[in-house]
């Protein structure tokens, strides 16, 4: 019997773990990346890199490759890719679900300031300190006019849309003590991050709490309609129910 083929739209550690788990369970798994990461972590699954050409291109791929089920395990802020996945799977008649990291929950000592977008963050940051640590590198144009010093971390080399920025190229996960040492060495006053959720990227928030630093936190977009799992185990159970054993 031919193994059912499952497409995992990757971009998170949880997606890679799910892909490996499904391979070990006997599925034919394709783990797809958008192509932004030059050296993704190794996987037991067949890895595909590059875009599909929007929702129509993805729908054609699903049909041509006889995909039995699709799991959207992209980054929680990859809203366009998730919307394309929903539209493509509906068009091709392929079951789809989203594997979404649990939201972060503040604890005593956290000084989080949630914002809806970077324009709102730009209005708040000047009153919060001079040196800003930014935990992502995309879409920073809204901060370009601020008279602040930025330390921007990105996983891959590349430019940022800020004239006064020190760029650090490093790939997580990071330890809390290392994040704390970085913030101290860089004399950071405030942290700007996305509310990505999950365990792997929370260390910067724990370090900020330890130092008493405020964190401006971009709210994550809501996932598209449809089934959602917040663990790889739950996602695996959904695949078994929708793609066959």
- Is 12 part of any domain? yes
- pLDDT for 1: 60
Q: Are residues 169 and 127 in the same domain?
A: yes
Q: Give one word for 212, left, alpha or beta, with left for phi > 0 and alpha for psi -120 to 50.
A: left
The predicted pLDDT at position 37 comes to: 60
Strand partners of residue 165: 150
Per-residue b or e along 68-101, where b marks 16 or more CB atoms closer than 10 Å to that residue's CB: bbbbbbbbbbbeebbebbbbbbeebebbbbbbbb
- Verify that 92 and 164 share a domain, yes or no: no
User: 169 and 119 in one domain?
Assistant: yes
In a domain, 165, yes or no: yes
Q: Give Cα 150 to chain centroid, integer Å.
A: 22
Q: d(Cα 237, Cα 229) in Å, to the nearest integer?
A: 10
Instruction: Supply 191's token pair.
Output: 């942290």
Both 147 and 64 in a single domain? no
Domain assignment of residue 77, given as a range: 5-101+222-243
- CATH value at residue 91: 3.40.50.720
211/47 Cα distance (integer angstroms): 40
Looking at the fold, whether 212 and 226 belong to one and the same domain comes out as no
CB atoms within 10 A of CB 202: 17
* Residue 106 belongs to some domain of the structure: no
pLDDT category at 201 given cuts 50, 70, 90 is confident
Domain identity same for 50 and 126: no
Whether residue 188 is found in the same domain as residue 239: no
What digits encode the pLDDT tens for the residues 113-159?
A: 999 999 999 999 999 999 999 999 999 999 999 999 999 999 889 88
Residue 39 has pLDDT above 70, yes or no: no
Residues 15 and 84 in one domain: yes
Does some domain include residue 107? Answer: no
Q: In terms of domains, do 189 and 235 share one?
A: no
237 touches 228 (CB < 8 A):
no
pTM above 0.85, yes or no: yes
Residue 65 lies in a domain: yes
Are 53 and 30 within one domain?
A: yes
Residue 162 is assigned to a structural domain of this protein:
yes
59 with 127, same domain: the answer is no
Residue 116 belongs to a domain: yes
What does the pLDDT look like over 170-186, one tens digit per residue?
A: 988 899 999 999 999 99
69 and 135 together in one domain: no
pLDDT in the model for residue 245: 67
Q: How many domains does the chain have?
A: 2
Q: Is the pLDDT of residue 7 over 70?
A: yes
Torsion from C-alpha of 174, 166, 111, 211, nearest 10 degrees: 70
């Amino acid at each position: 019997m031919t193994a059912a083929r499952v497409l995992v739209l990757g971009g998170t550690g949880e997606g890679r773990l799910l892909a490996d788990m499904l391979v070990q369970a006997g599925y034919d798994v394709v783990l797809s990346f958008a192509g932004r990461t030059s050296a993704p972590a190794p996987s037991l699954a067949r890895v595909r890199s590059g875009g599909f050409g929007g929702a129509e291109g993805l729908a054609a791929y699903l049909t041509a490759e006889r995909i039995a089920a699709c799991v959207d395990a992209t980054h929680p802020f990859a809203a366009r890719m998730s919307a394309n996945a929903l539209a493509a799977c509906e068009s091709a008649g392929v079951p789809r679900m989203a594997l979404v990291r649990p939201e972060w929950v503040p604890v005593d000592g956290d000084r989080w300031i949630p914002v809806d977008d970077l324009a709102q963050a730009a209005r708040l940051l000047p009153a919060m300190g001079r040196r800003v640590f930014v935990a992502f590198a995309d879409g920073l144009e809204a901060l370009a006019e601020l008279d602040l010093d930025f330390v921007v971390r990105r996983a891959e080399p590349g430019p940022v849309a800020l004239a006064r920025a020190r760029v650090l190229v490093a790939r997580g996960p990071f330890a809390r003590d290392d994040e704390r040492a970085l913030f101290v060495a860089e004399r950071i006053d405030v942290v700007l991050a996305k509310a990505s959720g999950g365990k792997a990227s929370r260390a910067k928030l724990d370090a900020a709490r330890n130092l008493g630093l405020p964190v401006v936190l971009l709210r994550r977009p809501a996932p598209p309609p449809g089934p959602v799992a917040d663990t790889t185990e739950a996602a695996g159970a959904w695949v078994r129910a929708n793609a066959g054993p």
